[in-house]
Amino acid sequence: MHILRLAPTANSHSLFTMSAASLALPSPLSSLRSNGPLPSRRFRLTNPSRSRVFMSVSVGSQTVVDDALFADYKPTSAFLFPGQGAQAVGMGKEAQNVPAAAELYKKANDILGFDLLDVCINGPKEKLDSTVLSQPAIYVTSLAAVELLRAREGGQQIIDSVDVTCGLSLGEYTALAFAGAFSFEDGLKLVKLRGEAMQEAADAAKSAMVSIIGLDSEKVQQLCDAANQEVDVADKVQIANYLCPGNYAVSGGLKGIEAVEAKAKSFKARMTVRLAVAGAFHTSFMDPAVSRLEAALAATQIRTPRIPVISNVDAEPHADPETIKKILARQVTSPVQWETTVKTLLTKGLKKSYELGPGKVIAGILKRVDKSAEIENIVA
């Protein structure tokens, strides 16, 4: 996500106090560990009528996977991973007490070419907040939190019980790594490139993001429409993040964002908060980043996840690796459908969630959707 690091303003207080066929699939984070494979677990297709005799078929030299493999998923326990904006100086400190978690930072240093843990723990804040650094930092720290959970009593049982995962924007990459769609190393390389490409796209045009607090999505859309009547095409705005009731982020050209801020009170918004991000994420302003991401994704080995990973683009799980690649490339220019994702999980019967990584932003969002939702924070 790219919407929750707030720029200081007079009003910018915290927004949240916030016989069915079955498949043997790899165990959680097995690709992250070097001390041999973990026991495999099985993901059960819950609707026998939708069961597939074969998960995939070979066409020439390519294997085609049925992308609807997880369409009938029935969630009970979820891992939720934060996105950009959750970073804070001091994160990663707890991870150093668990060897498997500390090892992830060492691997990251080799890939990134600098001491990531030092920046996480000591800052400076301005450096950690930059798009090119915060995205790798959150990815590594979130997966380190999984290792902290694994190390505690009963932690492995919790990990084994998780049957769905998702993440907010950047967090989708963390969720895919947890689900075994790609290795820790390959995921980090993608995240590094993603951050760099998004920063470059942001530098190419004057753009911004603002959170609109206290309006429903229909009213926010009307506000965007009104602002767009006053600016050129290059400064148009749109809803970029559907977070939760009463909190939606708008992205667009700088003049368009200023028009939104000027009109918000007349639409009875409680407040607007300009976001301290590089630019208009999750809009066409990020188009220059797409081709770089597509090339990197094409060169990356992606496998069918062992459990459903819910996409930010359409709030659906995807099983076909080629489809996952296309979805990830589209993600940087598509609105984040987080509210739909959370509501769908709860409607389908989700019982317990865990937020893994820095901060408690996702817990705050979940409680705004359903006050009774049960969530536990695992902070590294």
Q: With CA atoms as reference, report the closest residue to 1 among 191, 135, 101.
A: 135
CA distance 69 to 368: 31
- Who's near 99: CB < 8 A, 6+ residues apart? none
Compute the 3-state secondary structure of the chain and give helix, strand, coil in percent, each to the nearest 5: 45, 20, 40
Where helices occur in the chain by DSSP H, the ranges are 99-112, 116-122, 125-129, 131-151, 155-161, 171-178, 184-203, 217-228, 254-263, 287-298, 321-331, 338-347, 361-369
Q: In what order do the strands lie in the sheet with 77-81?
A: 309-310, 164-167, 77-81, 352-356, 375-378
CA distance 338 to 335: 9
Catalytic pick among 31, 169, 207, 353: 169
282 labelled catalytic: yes
What phi and psi, each to the nearest 5 degrees, are found at residue 107?
-65, -40
Report CA 342 to chain centroid distance, whole Å.
13
375 by DSSP, 3-state: which?
strand
Q: Let me know the angle formed at the C-alpha of 46 by 44 and 47, rounded to the nearest 5 degrees.
A: 135
What phi and psi, each to the nearest 5 degrees, are found at residue 152?
-85, 160
13 labelled catalytic: no
- Contacts within 8 Å (CB) and 24+ apart, 106-109: 107/184, 107/185, 107/188, 108/136, 108/140, 108/188
Catalytic pick among 134, 142, 251, 282: 282
Class of residue 12 by CB neighbours under 10 A (exposed 0-12, middle 13-18, buried 19+): middle
Q: Catalytic amino acids?
A: 169, 282
